Amino acid sequence: MAKSEELVIFCGGGQTNRLALPTIEVVNKLRPGETPLNFSHINFGRYGGDRESDDRFESPSQIEGKHVIFFINTHKAHLVMQVLQFVWSMKNQYNAKSVTVVMPFMGYRRQDHPEKFEEIHRHLWLVQNLKQNGTDFLIMCDPHSEQNIKNCQKVGLAYKVVDPTQVYAAALNQVIMGAKTRGQKILIDTPDWGSLPRAVRLAKATKATLILGAKKRDYTGEVDTNQSLSSAQVEQIESIARENQIEIVYEPTAITNLIQDAIIIMREDELDTGRTASKRGHWLRSCGAAEIHMAVTHMVCSDGWKRQVFDNTPFTTIFGGTTIYRPYENRTGGLVKDVDMSVPIAHILAQVINEL
Q: Which pLDDT score, from 0 to 100, does residue 10 have?
A: 98
Residue 49 clears pLDDT 80, i.e. is over it: no
Q: Name the strands in the sheet holding 67-71, side by side, starting at the edge strand that comes first in the sequence.
A: 7-11, 67-71, 98-103, 137-141, 158-162
Q: Are residues 216 and 256 in contact, defined by beta-carbon separation less than 8 angstroms?
A: no
Residue 226 clears pLDDT 80, i.e. is over it: no
337: three-class secondary structure by DSSP:
strand
Q: Is residue 120 located within the same domain as residue 191? A: no
Q: Is residue 100 located within the same domain as residue 212? A: no
Whole-angstrom Cα distance, residue 268 to residue 197?
Answer: 11
Q: Is residue 330 located within the same domain as residue 189? A: yes
- Domain containing 330 equals 165-339
Average of per-residue pLDDT across 79-102: 98
pLDDT 10s digits, 275-299: 999 999 999 999 999 999 999 999 9
Residue 29 clears pLDDT 70, i.e. is over it: yes
Q: Is residue 206 located within the same domain as residue 331? A: yes
Whole-angstrom Cα distance, residue 9 to residue 223?
Answer: 41
Q: Is residue 202 located within the same domain as residue 275? A: yes
Q: Is residue 172 located within the same domain as residue 243? A: yes
Average of per-residue pLDDT across 24-49: 95
Q: Which pLDDT score, from 0 to 100, does residue 312 have?
A: 86
Residue 222 clears pLDDT 60, i.e. is over it: no
Q: Which pLDDT score, from 0 to 100, does residue 224 have?
A: 54
Q: Is residue 160 located within the same domain as residue 83? A: yes
Q: Is residue 145 located within the same domain as residue 197? A: no
Q: Are residues 206 and 176 in contact, defined by beta-carbon separation less than 8 angstroms?
A: yes
Q: How far is CA 333 from CA 30, 86, 328, in A?
A: 34, 37, 10
Q: Which pLDDT score, from 0 to 100, does residue 188 have?
A: 98
Whole-angstrom Cα distance, residue 352 to residue 347?
Answer: 9
- Percent of the chain surpassing pLDDT 90: 83
Residue 272 clears pLDDT 90, i.e. is over it: yes
Q: Is residue 137 located within the same domain as residue 280? A: no
Whole-angstrom Cα distance, residue 28 to residue 350?
Answer: 9
Q: Which pLDDT score, from 0 to 100, does residue 215 have?
A: 57
Average of per-residue pLDDT across 3-11: 98
Residue 198 clears pLDDT 90, i.e. is over it: yes
The contacts of residue 77 (CB under 8 Å, 6+ apart) are: 107
Average pLDDT value over all residues in the chain: 93
Residue 218 clears pLDDT 60, i.e. is over it: no
Q: Is residue 212 located within the same domain as residue 269? A: yes
Q: How far is CA 173 from CA 15, 96, 260, in A?
A: 30, 44, 21
Q: Indicate the pLDDT class of residue 138, thresholds 50, 70 and 90.
A: very high
Q: Is residue 260 located within the same domain as residue 121? A: no
Residue 190 clears pLDDT 70, i.e. is over it: yes
- The count of structural domains within the chain is 2
pLDDT 10s digits, 167-184: 999 999 999 999 999 999
CATH of residue 183: 3.40.50.2020
Q: Is residue 120 located within the same domain as residue 204? A: no
